[in-house]
Structure 1
């Protein structure tokens, strides 16, 4: 087997590996523990000895132990398809193994083996979680290293999965976004651009007609145009989640509100299960940068914020089911039952609805033909790569649209921003308005709307109308981002709770006496803040009627809601 040496600055195995933007944080990725820190970890594990060459855990394994080196050296190795090994780093005395996989209990992306005879402290996963929950200093050090190591794996493509697809395929974009938003390393190969594609197709006995393909090499999975659920099952995302137990609280949706509820609930000892249809972060994860969220003066991407919150929830013991959706709810019993389809039903004493909202779709007959192949509802690096340096159109005047405009303006030739109203002041933060005004390759087109989309397999032209002048014009633009309006994700509730005329869930003081009579409210007390027309069912974030559509507001609602859950669990 061939081996390529790729190391970091703390490694004794060879030259420094350039980790891109993380190059100056290698010491935090691979820190050396103090003797006192090692002694505290030793109380949670047991001392073990292994001979040189022994595999402590292999690529693709689950239930991974955590190791601290006392004597000797450990190699962390990645094996690419085809048998070429890459040495990521060599860990020496008082360094440790692992990344966020240790908290999620998913499959390892690397092999960890003894380079020399080694003496180590071995800590099993439940005891590692006890360390990060109870040892403040160690928790900060370990969590920082785990997160940075995952970012390095993502930037280096150290995954076990390959997507073979086309830039002209909506399904390809869907799968790329699923991997990216779930923090899952993947290699992408394009049938029109990468010469190695035919060799892989022949090896796995598939054809170009089957694309997009997801190949998970070591598991032998070859998935033809799979759903997100099929990919999650193949990767083992939810393999260790117990569906049978009755939970203290189930949270449907893992946007900022749902993740906040998960973090606070799990950290306060509740048995928490989160159900997420696609990936953590909700609509906020599609924001390239959030600059007005408290505590991040330089801003943070929605995906990074969601990833950190997800890891934080896992740290405290919340379980998160990914790529599964609630399809219906039975709220006529003291124990609430949520049907996930496929025979899976989860039961809970309390439910938090945090399924958020999605952007409204343009009322154009040809829209569906171009979704994913020219029409997008998120502006992340995945979509930006498709746009290249071309002109783009953004429909919408809210903060998300403003963030998308300034983000895309960095790489695109020109950004046309279309709004229905006379200005941005009523719907967008002032700092974003100023930035748009001062960016030369952004043109704000007021009182303008899209009236036509044109193209064959991909969007090729966009027609818009200036309602102030009545002028209609067509432009050779292949990429359109629509970020206007909001439709709540409440179809799965099937009338279980009261909603307003637009479908948003009514709660707390918004529930009138007449609504409660119609819903047959059974308790003497009034609904609590965020409680719906059904006792023990709450709503937070964008899905809630009259909510403030801001990340900070959703986080606040999710955290406060947990205090109400504690209260109703004693009823």
Structure 2
């Protein structure tokens, strides 16, 4: 059987905050595929353009130009998805009164399915701006459309996902990187092992030539990519849209963590043009949190991915543009508008820039660490990693809240979680509710006053983690294929030095009075006019999700004040 891994539950995009159960089409079909009344169709007419297609005509292609939202007035629109293996599955048949699309259409991105007219098709076509205008002008109708779009994406991600097929050896680091990228961005995909799947093996025979070709990626339109970079894959799938070099944005946000997404939501909702960049996935480090239980308004807790997914869709709803993966490499502060260069050579212009790039995962100085990254060494714990270590021994290093959340999450999947810290306990660095949860978990073993010493592995990846007692020098070895590192973070600010944004001695960005200027109430502005910093990247910030989101919201008022002057 194919090695198919469902990537997300409903919380991927915030579809169901109280349950992780799979979306049931039988009970929620009226929400996923609603039928609009005659009165509602009349209200939609002022936002759409009437279109006609003959019977059998192709209305749109997967991975092609976005069709926007089609509201069927007559005939039928049948949507199906295929793949490079020649397989095709019918997804849905839209009849009169129903509307097509899912989350991708909010930003004009390529569809995930093909659409064919059955009978003479008459429909209203709404492009991305028109969809957003409908949602703003018709609140109740817009809520139904938004709920349907989110649930449809969850269905596409479900037990038999569409999207690209990832093919390669299970332990391959490149395969893991692509899988993690798609998973964290809530993009449907399937992973297949050519050693077990005859159809995947056939694609390997046709397209694979050497070890450097791993992994293969078979796109829905039949094209097969060899070992693509994240940027190459993002361009093909539409997560990395074409950059308009002539456009000057009001706000350019670098980083799509909680602070960056909060800035995008509030700025876009107040009419500012916004572009958000992130080099890997929306949500940042918070998006990798298995469960956040102390965020205001969620008494039962919420996963970092659900919180990030809701914020991401909300930003799209208000018209913010999001480009992933897009890595900022250079900020030119001596020019106006400000200019930001990306790693692919593209250049964006904006009147203000918000630095929300957060911090990157700290890598301890450990010989051989790099060769095991993605092959047994991980810096976050998502369902992808949990699936890899099911029923196995794992080592988790770190004593902060992120480490505690990861330990609790992994304990539901792994046989034993060995939690290793340098201190004598967890009380100084971890919230009490997590300490209590860890103490109550029978398969979490806490090891104190231990430090990493060495790693051993084989062709399959990591095999042994060697540790040494800090006080007594005792040696201890864990036989494990999976080690998770939550040992702090370094500020993601190296690319700012040419711009001469003021940094503290640890590399975090100085703002307000700390930046040495009288900023007239703009306490989140840096030493450079029009450049602001929020969230974990800002010097002196509280390293909490709620605090980051608060700063992201607060900076918008300061941006308005700057633009007004």
Question: Is 1:494 paired with 2:497?
Answer: yes
Correspondence for 2:93:
90
Question: Is 1:220 paired with 2:223?
Answer: yes
Shift of 1:480: 0.5
2:72 to 51, 58, 69: 69
* Residues 377/117 of structure 1: CA separation in 2 closer, same or farther (3 Å cut): same
Partner SS state of residue 218, structure 1: coil
Shift of 1:311: 1.7
Mapped contact 1:527–1:533 kept (Cα < 8 A): no
1:545 to 527, 539, 545: 539
Correspondence for 2:153:
150
Correspondence for 2:370:
368
Correspondence for 2:110:
107
Mapped contact 2:275–2:321 kept (Cα < 8 A): yes
1:282 to 281, 284, 309: 284
Aligned residues: 542
Q: Deviations over 1:514-549 (max 9, x none)?
A: xx3xxxx6xx64572111111211111111111111
Partner SS state of residue 431, structure 1: helix
Equivalent-residue separation in structure 1 for 2:54 and 2:244 (angstroms)? 36
More divergent stretch after superposition (234-243 vs 289-298): 234-243
Correspondence for 1:531:
525
Correspondence for 1:172:
175
Equivalent-residue separation in structure 1 for 2:41 and 2:132 (angstroms)? 16
Mapped contact 2:277–2:323 kept (Cα < 8 A): yes
More divergent stretch after superposition (103-112 vs 334-343): 334-343
Unaligned runs of 5+ in 2: 1-20
* Residues 114/324 of structure 1: CA separation in 2 closer, same or farther (3 Å cut): same
Equivalent-residue separation in structure 2 for 1:176 and 1:508 (angstroms)? 40
Shift of 1:209: 5.1
Mapped contact 2:231–2:240 kept (Cα < 8 A): no
Correspondence for 1:565:
559
Equivalent-residue separation in structure 2 for 1:209 and 1:348 (angstroms)? 39
Correspondence for 1:388:
390
Equivalent-residue separation in structure 2 for 1:219 and 1:308 (angstroms)? 32
More divergent stretch after superposition (80-89 vs 173-182): 80-89
Partner SS state of residue 362, structure 1: coil
Shift of 1:130: 0.7
> TM-score with structure 1 length normalisation?
0.90
Correspondence for 1:419:
421
Equivalent-residue separation in structure 2 for 1:173 and 1:111 (angstroms)? 28
Partner SS state of residue 73, structure 1: strand
Following superposition of structure 1 onto structure 2, how do residues 62-461 of structure 1 map, counting pairs within 5 Å? 62-204=65-207, 206-207=209-210, 210-218=213-221, 220-224=223-227, 226-457=228-459, 458-461=461-464
Equivalent-residue separation in structure 2 for 1:193 and 1:325 (angstroms)? 36
More divergent stretch after superposition (258-267 vs 28-37): 28-37
RCO (CA 8 Å, sep 6+): is it higher in 1 or 2?
A: 2
Correspondence for 1:554:
548
Shift of 1:459: 1.0
Equivalent-residue separation in structure 2 for 1:342 and 1:363 (angstroms)? 30
More divergent stretch after superposition (151-160 vs 331-340): 151-160
* Residues 49/344 of structure 1: CA separation in 2 closer, same or farther (3 Å cut): closer
Equivalent-residue separation in structure 1 for 2:175 and 2:233 (angstroms)? 13
Mapped contact 1:167–1:386 kept (Cα < 8 A): no
Correspondence for 1:15:
none
Partner SS state of residue 69, structure 1: strand
Partner SS state of residue 113, structure 1: strand
Equivalent-residue separation in structure 2 for 1:217 and 1:112 (angstroms)? 13
Following superposition of structure 1 onto structure 2, how do residues 505-516 of structure 1 map, counting pairs within 5 Å? 505-511=509-515, 516=516
Mapped contact 2:256–2:282 kept (Cα < 8 A): yes
Partner SS state of residue 147, structure 1: helix
Correspondence for 1:9:
none
Shift of 1:219: 6.1
Mapped contact 1:201–1:208 kept (Cα < 8 A): no
Equivalent-residue separation in structure 1 for 2:290 and 2:391 (angstroms)? 17
